[in-house]
């Protein structure tokens, strides 16, 4: 062992720690960590600016492991670099409440920059971080004061690059010339099923070249000089994102498994690990062994990191002297704290009785509130004139104007959303993005990760029902409200008129814990007369009595969005026949569920069993509010291409039908 270079020993330590933790857990993926160990070593030891004792230091380089199954690579290198992950934490890999879960989870482990595992999303998060950095750097850097000048490094494997998402985000990154993004492609030609030739024959170099990336290949990942040179060339290419295709050997060091799918996703086995130790010249009877010279070698990072951060603190101090206003705003932007003043900018619509599509109300609200929230940073997946997400006076985010706040995502919903996750994690921005609600299917996989990561963003989902009309069933969401509500932690809000829309935005902006999705109409909805009906502020409670009966109601009608006005009209008709009706406007189940039992019972008293829900979507889930004795007016099939009035009539969303159903119930 003694005649090995310190680099080789340090790299082999990463490999063995990873293999042993996986062996101890009796599950995990040793192949990636063993193959990519040289990249992790080079980045953390020699290339990246980071401070292991402050993993939140602002100007640190980020590293995203998109192949989250290779989590042990990250945990091993974080441990060796001096982050708050002990050897015991490595021994606890994949155990209950450990800091070292099966796949990296944002917020759980010191130094883990984002949650990865669903392939493709980590890469997209990294590109989102690159967007946020470029934007904030453009807003705040000054000559001689580059307060944000770090890189975003990421690893992606065959799996990440096969996922369609990688196309969307790589194309976006190339178009936007994200020179701060440096990607390592773990080109090992192996996936779970076997050799990559079973399922793929792309040329990654040509692919990324056509996306306008700077492309390099390192034929042998263990050639640290070549690897280092490639990184330097990537760093100095500022007008293109870079990909470094590194040829690696999956499971490198395992004599019987390296280079085969057997190394991908199963422990190597105790006997095989002994062989790895023998090959590396490590003591065969020691477990989780870190040679003392390796410990010392990595220990330099602590001092180096402290100095880097200290230098930055000094830079920021003199920046603050020279540009006090900018410095103050920078601090405020990163804390996200703009006080309560923005709430006063939320408009109230008093043109009662007039019709206004809630997508239009949304645009009015967004434009009114934007001046009070300099961190809003949004766009649409090529539906700006339909989603109404543009803000007057805002410039586009482009390579020439990275300070611009409006992002042209193109027709890339999944990329938009996965990049928004990266931006939200990066901080300093509140990402919002628009698409048709029906295409929330295209971004759904990112919502659960956003929720799991407790990160904040706002979705503007317009064209929220069969009310879309002529575009027909392909464009009419039917099961989407239920699908969005089914994701734990996602708040779904479907406001009933302009004033509820204003309240929905107010909730969304204030909500810090997870994504909020606003469902908005294409068609006009009457602005409810709030001198006659209850205040729209009830939206802050998820559901509220918008129109009540005298005394205990005989029937409760619950409705959301476009169906609220119909329900109010039906209630008036039922009232005139002696049926006492309470109408509950129900924009959000999740917010209602957060309220006290007392409030919930005051809106939906236990003793009133005749309950009807009215919503232009599937009824799935409404049972919990309507109960066994209630019923639902819903649509249990796909819509059709026709004018929206005709569709509402054909599918039973009419005053007459609500009245008839209500009568049946009482
Ligand atoms: C979206 C998604 N689909 C499937 C999987 C399951 N999965 C995990 S790793 C993997 C193979 C990835 O191959 P590669 O990127 O080459 O990783 P390596 O074999 O090099 O470790 C698959 C299919 C996943 N994690 N995410």
Residue 413 a catalytic site member = yes
Distance in Å from the first CA to the final CA of the chain: 85
In this predicted structure, the answer to whether residue 624 has a pLDDT above a threshold of 70 is yes
Q: Is 655 helix (H, G, I), strand (E, B) or coil?
A: helix
Cβ of 188 closer than 6 Å to ligand 1, yes or no, is yes
Cα-Cα-Cα-Cα torsion 468, 470, 473, 474, nearest 10 degrees, comes to -90
Distance 118 CA to ligand 1 centre (A): 8
**pLDDT, tens only, 362-391:** 999 999 999 999 999 999 999 999 999 999
pLDDT of 467 higher than 80: yes
With the most atoms of ligand 1 within 8 angstroms of its CB, the residue from 32, 36, 69 to mutate is 69
Distance, CA of 114 to CA of 122 (rounded, Å):
7
Give the atom of ligand 1 at the shortest distance from the alpha carbon of 121: 1
Residues 20, 413, 563, 565: which is the catalytic one? 413
Contact 505, 479 (CB under 8 A): no
Contact 11, 19 (CB under 8 A): no
Calculate mean pLDDT across residues 239-253.
98
Phi, psi angle pair for 460, to nearest 5°: -105, 100
CB distance 182 to ligand 1 below 6 Å: no
Separation between Cα atoms, residue 379 and residue 392, nearest integer Å: 13
Share of the chain above pLDDT 90, in %: 99
pLDDT digits (tens, 9 = 90+) for 119-143: 999 999 999 999 999 999 999 999 9
- 544-547 and 581-585 as β-strands: parallel, antiparallel, unpaired? antiparallel
H helix intervals, 141-240: 158-162, 164-175, 204-210, 224-235
| Residues 417-440, mean pLDDT to the nearest whole number | 98
Q: What is the pLDDT of residue 249?
A: 98
122 lines ligand 1 (CB under 6 A): no
Residues recorded for the chain: 666
For 326-373, how does the pLDDT look when each residue is reduced to its tens digit (9 = 90+)? 999 999 999 999 999 999 999 999 999 999 999 999 999 999 999 999
Residue 229 pLDDT exceeds 70: yes
- What is the predicted pLDDT for the residue at 4? 86
Closest alpha carbon to 613 in 592, 641, 644, 642:
592
Q: What does pLDDT average to over the chain?
A: 98
Determine the average pLDDT of the residues in 409-416: 98
DSSP 506-562: HHHHH--SS-EEEEE-SSEEE---TTTS--GGGGGGS-EEEE--SSS-SEEEEE-TT
CA of 195 to the centre of ligand 1 (A): 13
Strand order in the sheet with 242-247: 62-65, 152-157, 181-187, 242-247, 214-218
181-226 residue pLDDT tens: 999 999 999 999 999 999 999 999 999 999 999 999 999 999 999 9
**What pLDDT does residue 1 have?**
58
Region 605-623: mean pLDDT is 97
Q: How confident is the model at residue 65 (pLDDT cuts 50, 70, 90)?
A: very high
Q: Using the 8-state DSSP alphabet, how is residue 437 labeled? A: G
Question: Does the pTM of the predicted model rise above 0.95?
Answer: yes
Q: Which pLDDT score, from 0 to 100, does residue 2 have?
A: 56
Task: Burial-class residue 373 by CB neighbours within 10 Å (0-12, 13-18, 19+).
Answer: middle
């Amino acid at each position: 062992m003694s005649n090995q270079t310190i680099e080789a020993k340090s790299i082999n330590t990463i490999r063995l720690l990873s293999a042993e933790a996986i062996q101890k857990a009796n599950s995990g993926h040793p192949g990636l960590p063993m193959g990519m160990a040289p990249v992790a070593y080079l980045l953390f030891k020699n290339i990246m600016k980071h401070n292991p004792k402050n993993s939140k230091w602002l100007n640190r380089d980020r590293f995203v492991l998109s192949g989250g199954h290779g989590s042990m690579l990250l945990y091993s290198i974080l441990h060796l670099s001096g982050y708050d992950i002990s050897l015991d934490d490595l021994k606890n890999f994949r155990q209950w409440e450990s800091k070292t879960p099966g796949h990296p989870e944002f917020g759980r482990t010191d130094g883990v920059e984002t949650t990865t595992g669903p392939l493709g999303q980590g890469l997209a998060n990294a590109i989102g971080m690159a967007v946020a950095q470029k934007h904030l750097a453009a807003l705040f850097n000054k000559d001689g004061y580059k307060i944000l000048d770090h890189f975003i490094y990421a690893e992606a494997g065959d799996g990440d690059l096969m996922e369609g998402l990688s196309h969307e985000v790589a194309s976006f990154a190339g178009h936007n010339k994200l020179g701060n993004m440096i990607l390592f492609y773990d080109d090992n030609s192996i996936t779970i099923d076997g050799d990559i030739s079973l399922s793929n024959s792309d040329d990654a170099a040509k692919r990324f070249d056509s996306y306008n990336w700077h492309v390099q290949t390192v034929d042998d990942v263990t050639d640290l000089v070549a690897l280092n040179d490639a990184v330097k060339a990537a760093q100095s290419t500022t007008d293109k994102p870079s990909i470094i295709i590194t040829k690696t050997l999956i499971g490198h060091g395992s004599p019987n498994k390296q280079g085969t799918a057997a190394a991908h996703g199963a422990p190597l086995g105790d006997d095989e690990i002994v062989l790895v130790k023998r090959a590396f010249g490590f003591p065969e009877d020691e477990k989780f062994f870190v040679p003392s010279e390796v410990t010392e070698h990595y220990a330099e990072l602590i001092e180096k990191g402290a100095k880097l951060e200290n230098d930055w603190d000094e830079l920021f101090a003199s920046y603050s002297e020279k540009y006090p206003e900018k410095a103050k705003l920078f601090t405020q932007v990163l804390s996200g704290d703009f006080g309560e003043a923005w709430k006063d900018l939320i408009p109230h619509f008093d043109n009662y009785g007039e019709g206004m599509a809630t997508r239009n109300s949304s645009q009015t609200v967004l434009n009114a509130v934007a001046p009070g929230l300099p961190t809003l940073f949004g766009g649409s997946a090529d539906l700006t004139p339909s989603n109404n997400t543009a803000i007057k006076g805002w410039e586009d985010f482009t390579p020439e104007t990275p300070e611009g706040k409006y992002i042209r995502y193109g027709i890339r919903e999944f990329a938009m959303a996965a990049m928004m996750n990266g931006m939200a994690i990066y901080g300093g921005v509140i990402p919002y993005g628009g698409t048709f609600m029906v295409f929330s299917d295209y971004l759904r996989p990112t919502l659960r990760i956003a929720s799991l990561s407790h990160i904040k963003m706002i979705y503007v989902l317009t064209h929220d029902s069969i009310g879309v009309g002529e575009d027909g069933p392909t464009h009419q969401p039917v099961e989407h409200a239920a699908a969005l509500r089914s994701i734990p932690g996602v708040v779904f809000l479907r406001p009933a008129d302009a004033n509820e829309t204003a309240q929905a935005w107010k909730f969304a902006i204030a909500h810090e814990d997870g994504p909020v999705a606003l469902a908005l109409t294409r068609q006009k909805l009457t602005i409810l007369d709030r001198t006659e009906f209850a205040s729209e502020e009830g939206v802050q409670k998820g559901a509220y009595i918008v129109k009540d009966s005298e005394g205990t109601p005989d029937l409760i009608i619950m409705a959301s969005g476009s169906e609220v006005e119909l329900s109010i009209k039906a209630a008036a008709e039922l009232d005139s026949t002696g049926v006492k009706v309470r109408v509950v406007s129900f924009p959000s189940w999740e917010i209602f569920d957060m309220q006290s039992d007392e409030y919930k019972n005051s809106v939906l008293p236990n003793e009133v069993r005749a309950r009807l829900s009215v919503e232009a979507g599937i009824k799935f889930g409404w049972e919990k509010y309507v109960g066994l004795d209630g019923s639902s007016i819903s649509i249990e099939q796909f819509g059709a291409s026709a004018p929206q009035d005709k569709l509402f009539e054909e599918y039973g969303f009419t005053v007459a039908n609500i009245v008839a159903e209500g009568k049946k119930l009482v």
